Amino acid sequence: MAGLEVREVDTGPVWDIAESISNLRSFFDGSDLREILDELQAKKVKNKRGRNTWQEEQSGGQGEPY
């Protein structure tokens, strides 16, 4: 790649959740944060409507090429 260096960097844990966190204080008190995020991710995976329910909530852009 034209002399460019590609490095791998550990970003730490990443969660894919479908809703916002109701108690933002959890971000400052990390003791419950992982448990909350694990529960929200499990809830998203088990959703009978599918994983990407956020798409149903989108408005605008229908029919546009991008």
Higher-pLDDT residue of 34 and 61 is 34
Higher-pLDDT residue of 46 and 1 is 46
Q: What is the pLDDT of residue 19?
A: 82
Q: What is the pLDDT of residue 10?
A: 93
Distance of alpha carbon 52 from the chain centroid: 11
Q: Residue 29: is its pLDDT beyond 80?
A: no
Q: Residue 1: is its pLDDT beyond 70?
A: no
Residue 14 to residues 36, 39, 44, 66, Cα–Cα distance (Å): 13, 13, 14, 27
What is the mean predicted confidence (pLDDT) over 38-58? 80
Query: 6: burial class by Cβ within 10 Å (0-12, 13-18, 19+)?
Result: exposed
What is the mean predicted confidence (pLDDT) over 28-38? 81
Sequence spans of domains, the chain:
24-54
